[in-house]
Amino acid sequence: VGTAGHPSAHLCAHLERIRAALHLGPVVDVACGRGRHTLALAEHAIPVLGIDRNAAHLTELMRSARARSLPVALLRADLEIGDELPLLPERCGAVLVFRYLHRPLLPGLVRALRPGGLLLYETFTMHQKEFGYGPVNPDFLLAAGELTEQFRALRVIESWEGVDTGSPPAAVARIAAIKP
Ligand SMILES: C[S@@+](CC[C@H](N)C(=O)[O-])C[C@H]1O[C@@H](n2cnc3c(N)ncnc32)[C@H](O)[C@@H]1O
């Protein structure tokens, strides 16, 4: 696991869907951080492009990937300049976002997917404020039902929000959805 931490159960539940999406195009871990999910997927022989603006996180992630000969590519970019991923539109097989929210980018995530591509999203809801850690700024917290509303153009496979009783517990919303 290393410093990147354990992958989310949401990612693990959709692992085979992510693998299947690879034939459409790259799997992109948006705001990948130290690579909790990038590394977990690469360990399952799923190549991943991780994007983040934090050079130190990316350096640490690349070091871990190289040490284990894992199929990881990284791109350093500020995702809050403009409203698109720094990729050609309609090329990605899967777009994954965990614990990152920049609302102006949400339509751009959908544009980045090829038709048939998979979106997996999981981040904190407003109730996270009750847990004493994580973001408190409402810009970084989802309102009730917001993920399904934001991604209403997609075909939803799974949508859930509540308290994930992991360690530590977290108030999160999750969606898995396919671009028609
Ligand atoms: C809470 S961490 C989540 C990391 C990873 N997705 C995970 O779930 O473990 C949020 C990440 O978003 C990245 N981030 C924040 N603002 C960003 C921006 N404007 N552009 C790119 N990455 C950004 C941070 O560098 C950090 O790695």
Query: Chain centroid to CA 154: how far?
Result: 16
Query: How far is the centre of ligand 1, averaged over its atoms, from the C-alpha of 150 (Å)?
Result: 20
CB of 159 sitting under 6 A from ligand 1 = no
Confidence grade of residue 64 (pLDDT, cut at 50, 70, 90): very high
Question: What is the percent of the chain where pLDDT is above 70?
Answer: 98
What are the contacts of 102-109 at 24+ separation with CB within 8 A?
103/139, 103/150, 104/80, 105/30, 105/79, 105/80, 106/150, 106/151, 107/83, 108/82, 108/83, 108/84, 109/30, 109/85
Residue 112 pLDDT exceeds 80: yes
CB of 52 sitting under 6 A from ligand 1 = yes
CB of 36 sitting under 6 A from ligand 1 = yes
Confidence grade of residue 167 (pLDDT, cut at 50, 70, 90): confident
Residue 4 pLDDT exceeds 90: no
pLDDT of residue 166: 86
Specify which residues 121 forms β-bridges with: 97, 175
Rounded to two decimals, what is the model's pTM? Answer: 0.97
CB of 33 sitting under 6 A from ligand 1 = yes
